[in-house]
Amino acid sequence: MLKGKVAVVTGGTRGIGYAIVKKFLENGASVVLWGSRQETVDRALERLRQDNPDWQVTGMAPDLGSYEEVARALDSVKKKYGKIDIMVNNAGISARDSLYDYNPEDFDRIMDLNVNSVFRCSKAAAAIMREHGGGVILNTSSMVSFYGQPAGSGYPASKFALNGLTKSLARELGRDHIRVNAVAPGVTRTDMMEAVPQEVIEPIVRTIPLGRLGEAEDIANAFLFLASDMASYITGAIIPVDGAAMT
C-alpha cells in the first residue's frame, strides 16, 4: 500500500509509534524513525532488522523542541531519499496530576511536545512536500480529545489543540495536495499497559463495547489507511480507534 513512499515517524521507538513504523515497512515504505535518544533509536532499528534485514529503515534523534534541528533532520531525509511523502507526528507525553498538584512546568512540557513539536515538524515537512507535489501529515490524537479526562488536564488540552491544528492545516494545505488527518486511539495495549494490574484493566474493558483493549496494530492499521492512496479524498478527519469507548 505504500510502495515507493518515504515516511518519517516521530516517537517511533516503542508502542504505537513502533507499530506504525513496522506496518509502513511491511507495506513497502522506506521509513526514518525518530526517538528521543539515539540509544533507543538504535535498539528499535536492531529489532526491526532482525524481523527483516531487507527493510529500508533508518533512525534519528533530533530535538523536537528546536525548529532548526527538526528542519535540518528533515532536510537530511530529503537529501537521502529525494522526497518525504508521509510525516507522522506521534511523539507525545501525558500526566494524570490533579489541577491542585499540577506543576505548571509539566503543563508547558506537555503542550510543547504534544502541540508545538507537531507544528514544527509539520511546517518543515510541508515545505518539502510542496516541492514534490504533495504528501500526507498524520497526527496522533486521543479519545480524551473528545471527552476530556478527570485529571491531568494538560494531556486532553494538548490533544484538543492538536485536533484544531489538524483541521486547520488540512484546510490550508489542501491546495498544495497535502492531506492532514489524525488518529485518536482509545485505551491501547502497549508496553506501558503491561505494568497495569489486571484488576485495573478489567473495569476499563467493561466500558468498551467491543469488549477488549485496543492493540497497537489496530492503531497502526488506521495510520496505514490514511497514509495510503485509498484515503486520497480524506483530509481534516480525526478518526477514533477506540472500540466506541467513553471515559
Q: Which residues are marked as active site? A: 155
Strand order of the sheet with strand 238-241?
57-60, 30-34, 6-9, 86-89, 135-140, 178-185, 238-241
**Amino acid type, 242:** D
Residue matched to cell numbers 507525553: 93
Number of C-beta neighbours around residue 126 at 10 A: 21
CA distances from 48 to 44, 186, 217 (A): 6, 26, 15
Question: What is the distance between the alpha carbons of residues 227 and 1, in angstroms, rounded to a whole number?
Answer: 9
Contacts of 172 (CB under 8 A, 6+ apart): none
The burial class, CB within 10 Å (0-12 / 13-18 / 19+), for 4 is exposed
CB environment 72-102: b (16+ within 10 A), e (fewer)? ebbeebbeebebbbbbbbbbbebeeeeeeeb
Question: What is the distance between the alpha carbons of residues 225 and 220, in angstroms, rounded to a whole number?
Answer: 9
